[in-house]
A and B are shown apart, each in its own frame.
Chain A
Amino acid sequence: MNAYYAIFRLRRRLETQYRGAALGGLICQVFFGLILIALYRALYAGRPQDMPLGHVVTYVWINQAFFRMVLSSDPELLDKIRTGGIAYDMCRPVSLYGFYYARLMAQKIMGTFLRGAPMIVIAALLPKGWGISLPASLPGFLWAAAAMLLGLLCVCAMENITMGFTMRTLDSRGMQAMLNLLMMLLTGNVLPLTLYPDSWQPVITALPYAQMLDAPIRLYTGIYAPETAWLILLRQAAWVAVLVCAGSLMWRANQRRLVIQGG
């Protein structure tokens, strides 16, 4: 466990190096958030929905703030497979899956902190109707925080599965693009899951993608009541277990047939 923690710490330091880039990215993302909210406001003005506008606005901001948690991958691994550098990683006395899981988690946590924390502050300062609302209740907030942690574990496990697929071929951009699209559509990045047709809700909220960001957001806005929150967390935990098992089995199978490139 200590080894994985060390990997995590190294990676975290690397992620904090590019502060200038983080600032530019932050401004850009706030701008994107504002565009989306302006659109939803105009749509709501034409036809109000059962779900209040505040929920959608909050959904957009949390999604923008945690963008780096959901959609960021480790580009080095693919390079390593192409160049044969993966051989070094396989020599390490730790499991390859765990090694990359820890790296990914550090990358995602730091990316989220650098972008997410200031973004939430900005979103909270915006005028009413444009900014993020307060959580529905204190227990709801605490449950949402816990769900966010499980969501992070879920994202990392899913990302490792994506990489497991991409490890098999040298040029994996097509496969990766497809999996990323699923991620963007089904985590609510393109369109909040709450705005999908009502008849789709039972299916899309049960998928692993909804466990990452959608479940915490719904706990935060109070769509999922705090009384039944433990059920949501249970569902998340079950998916984490399934995804980690599937991912590590896949990686083990891949490792056996992995061809080391380069000379």
Chain B
Amino acid sequence: MNTLRLYRKSMAMLIRSHMQYPASFLMQTLAQLVMEGGEMLAVILLVDRFDHLNQWTPGNLYFFFGLMSVSFYITECFGRGITGTFPSMVRSGQLDTVMLRPRGILTQVLCADADPRRIACIAVGTVSLVIGSRMSGIVWTVPKALMLLESICCAFWLILGLFMIEAILCVYSVKSVELANALTYGGRSACQYPVDTYPRPLRVLFTVVAPFALVMHVPASHILGKPLFGWPGWTGFVTPLAGLALFGVMYTLFRMAMRHYRSTGS
């Protein structure tokens, strides 16, 4: 509980610090809005030209896009300590001060940074989810809503876990490793469309290695009434847990990496 209070407190502090320059903050939030709007425009234009993707109607595609956008940017908003600042903390030796304090490293890193500008991207994602849900004619029930909620929550941990790969690698090599982007940003671009779009190797990659498909597409396809791979309904509640499992693995590796950590500061 103490940790949660600490987290809430630092978030409030970070938001206040972002609000110190309201004009700049507004401008940047607007920029984020336009940027994510641009991403959505690409989906709209593709739908306009191609009409459907396999069995997925335009409404379904907006739903998948919205789900990815909401989950990914919630992670970037609240997990910015890992997704953004961690490599530079290692490079500058700032991490040393973190290790001296009587709290977990991950907690502190997560408390150290937030990116409230991403709220604009989350808004675009939400709009896309709503439009997609309307166009697909989803009849919302309590289990379906819970499934969506679980999917988004687990996706947060999944994406955070994937970003931790970069954090772990940068402890060993100091220089930021662009290759790790293939799973995070690559996963985002690829999995804003349902996974059955892709040929087998990519499908396996995004189901087994970086389980975006299990966390997002299986529940989403149940909500849309077109189960992926023909799996039964209860799987929609079980498969998102893969996101938590991945985070667990990454957390263990992260702790091992921290034991290996050598300061670079001088």
Identify whether the interface residues of A are mostly helix, strand, loop, or mixed: helix
Q: What separation, in Å, do the CA atoms of A184 and B42 have in the docked complex?
A: 11
Q: Does chain B have a CB within 8 A of A39?
A: yes
User: A185 in the interface, Cβ–Cβ < 8 Å?
Assistant: yes
In the assembled complex, the Cα of A185 lies from the Cα of B179 at a distance in Å of 24
Residues of the B chain whose Cβ atoms lie less than 8 Å from the Cβ of A177: 28, 31-32, 34-35
Residues of B within 8 A of A35 (CB): 186, 189-190, 198, 202
A181 contacts partner chain B, Cβ-Cβ < 8 Å:
yes
**Interface flag for A118 (CB, 8 Å):** no
Query: Of B2-10, B45-53, B142-150, B245-253, which stretch is located at the interface?
Result: B45-53
- Taken together as a complex, chains A and B put the C-alpha atoms of A32 and B38 apart, in Å, by 18
Q: Name A162-182 residues within 8 Å CB distance of B.
A: 171, 173-175, 177-178, 181
A181 to B53 Cα, complex, angstroms:
26
- Quick check: is A149 within 8 A (CB to CB) of the other chain? no
| Known contacts A28-B178, A181-B31, A191-B42; A174/B48 CB under 8 A | no
A8-43: CB near B (< 8 Å → 1, else 0) gives 000000000000110011011001101110110011
A173 CA / B186 CA spacing, docked (Å) = 24
Question: How many chain A residues touch the partner (CB < 8 A)?
Answer: 33
Question: How many whole Å from B166's CB to the nearest CB in chain A?
Answer: 11
As a 0/1 sequence over residues 213 to 235 of chain A, the CB contacts with chain B under 8 angstroms (1 = contact) are 00000000000000000000000
> Are A24 and B34 in touch, CB under 8 angstroms?
no
B205 to chain A, nearest CB (A): 10
| Contact status B178-A43, CB under 8 Å | no
| Contact assessment for B199 and A197 in the assembled complex, using a CB-CB cutoff below 8 Å | no
The CA-CA distance from A20 to B179 in the complex, in Å, is 11
Decide: A174 and B179 in contact? CB cutoff 8 A.
no
Confirm or deny: A190 has a beta carbon within 8 angstroms of a beta carbon on chain B: yes
Q: Could you tell me the distance in whole angstroms from the C-beta of A109 to the nearest C-beta in chain B?
A: 20
- Contact check, A42 vs B42: say whether CB atoms are below 8 A apart: no
Chain A, residues 34-69, CB within 8 Å of chain B (1/0): the string is 111011001110110100000000000000000000
A25 & B31 in contact (Cβ 8 Å cutoff): no
Nearest A residue to B194 by beta-carbon distance?
Answer: A42
Q: Which residues of A contact B107 (CB under 8 A)?
A: none
Contacting pair A46 B54 (CB below 8 A): yes
Beta-carbon nearest neighbor of B178 in chain A? A24
Interface residues in B79-102 (C-beta closer than 8 Å to A): none
Q: Is there contact, CB below 8 Å, between B31 and A43?
A: no
Could you list 8 A-B pairs, sorted by A, with CB under 8 Å? A20-B175, A24-B177, A25-B178, A35-B189, A46-B51, A181-B35, A196-B45, A197-B48
Using a CB–CB cutoff of 8 Å, the interface residues on chain A facing chain B are 20-21, 24-25, 27-28, 31-32, 34-36, 38-39, 42-44, 46-47, 49, 171, 173-175, 177-178, 181, 184-185, 190-191, 195-197
Known contacts A28-B186, A31-B182; 16 additional CB pairs below 8 A are A20-B175, A24-B177, A28-B181, A31-B186, A34-B202, A38-B202, A39-B190, A46-B53, A171-B21, A173-B31, A174-B26, A174-B28, A175-B31, A177-B35, A181-B31, A190-B39
